[in-house]
Structure 1
Amino acid sequence: MTKFREVLENCHLGDLGFSSSCFTWSNRRLGNSFTKERLDRAMSNPEWCSLFPKVSVLVLAIRTSDHSPLAISFKEDVYERMYHRRGFKFEAWWAKDVECPNIIKSAWDEDILINASISNVQDRLSAWSDRVEECIRFVTPRVSEDMKNWLLQQFTEDEVRRALFQMHPLKFPRPYGFPAVFYQKN
């Protein structure tokens, strides 16, 4: 450990800090023997920090390892973009449009980090979709007042139950992270 600290000092490396959870390791035990620690860090020197002043480090959720992966983003808002952005949903009709693959490719190629690339794609597709929907606003609706009233009726418990049991048990776990099987079995 002494040699490691010497390297950090000689190279003028410092901790970049973190966003979200401060713990990067867990022993995954239950009860009183459960332990969490911050073992993993992203390090840089002052020169690197001056080249990338808006860098942020996000501690991601532990999935398969006992260590949390760290995501380094060159944008300040990585945490906001990954965890507070609930509105994005890829629309199937986008895939039918000839512009969609070009939008995805140009947004994906902008950043070397996968999380940032995904956020870029979400931003570009959302902006593009907004422009398309703005154009659609000027199309005359074909839904009559009677149709609209029928569609806005309150769902019955039986209709909700039938729809729920038609869903694949493990698809689309929103809201609150519970897949359909949770509601089908409880």
Structure 2
Amino acid sequence: MNNFREAVDDCGLREVAFEGYRFTYDNGQAGNDNRQCRLDRALCSDEWLNLFPRAKLIHLDREWSDHAPIKLILSRKESTGANRQKLFRFEQIWVGEEGCEDTIRSSWNDDEDLLATLARCAEGFQKWKGVSIGKIMRDINKKRRRLTALNEGGRSVTEVRERRKAVKEIANLLKQEEIFWKHRSRALWLKEGDRNTKYFHRKACQRKQGNYIEKLVDADGREHVGFEAISGIARDYFL
């Protein structure tokens, strides 16, 4: 360890400031057998720190591994997106949820126009809501806050057992998140269980960008931009 510190000093490196629980390693044992220490860190030069003065190292929560993942953030990004009315979509994660089939039965009518029946189903689902990605993320965040408290707490047999339970619950929620983004991405050639959530999310974002209409040209050859103007041209075209 002394040799490591000397090498760091010789190279003129310094540690990036971190946030979160101070220890990044835990052997997962209970009671007096438990060992914790900070093994994982980020080092940088003064020149690098001048380029990224707002850099932060985040100690994330340990889940399956003995080591806590660390995340280097170079700067804080601010959201600049504009809000639009969201279209209704049936989510794959609703299948099998209690109340999903009942919602369809109560809304469906074979004697009525199909479009009207589908619209009533959509209205029924919006009232029922079921499992949404927002709820999944809120539950994940809630479970991870609990996991943070357990990681920083004691190491009794009961607490270690409770931590393992929390890890399993988070894994189940992450599975639901993966299914959601897979459905949105339309990347059906990948099997569920691959835990490719970031890939599915990226594909969904690519689809959203590809579906985005920047402008439309009306019958007189004039270009129109903006949500209201584009919506008006599309509506007039099909009416």
Q: Report the TM-score, using the length of structure 1 for normalisation.
A: 0.45
Which is higher, the Rg of structure 1 or of structure 2?
2
Task: Return the structure number with greater relative CO, CA threshold 8 A, min gap 6.
Answer: 2
The structure with more helix, counted as a fraction of residues: 2
Q: Report the TM-score, using the length of structure 2 for normalisation.
A: 0.36
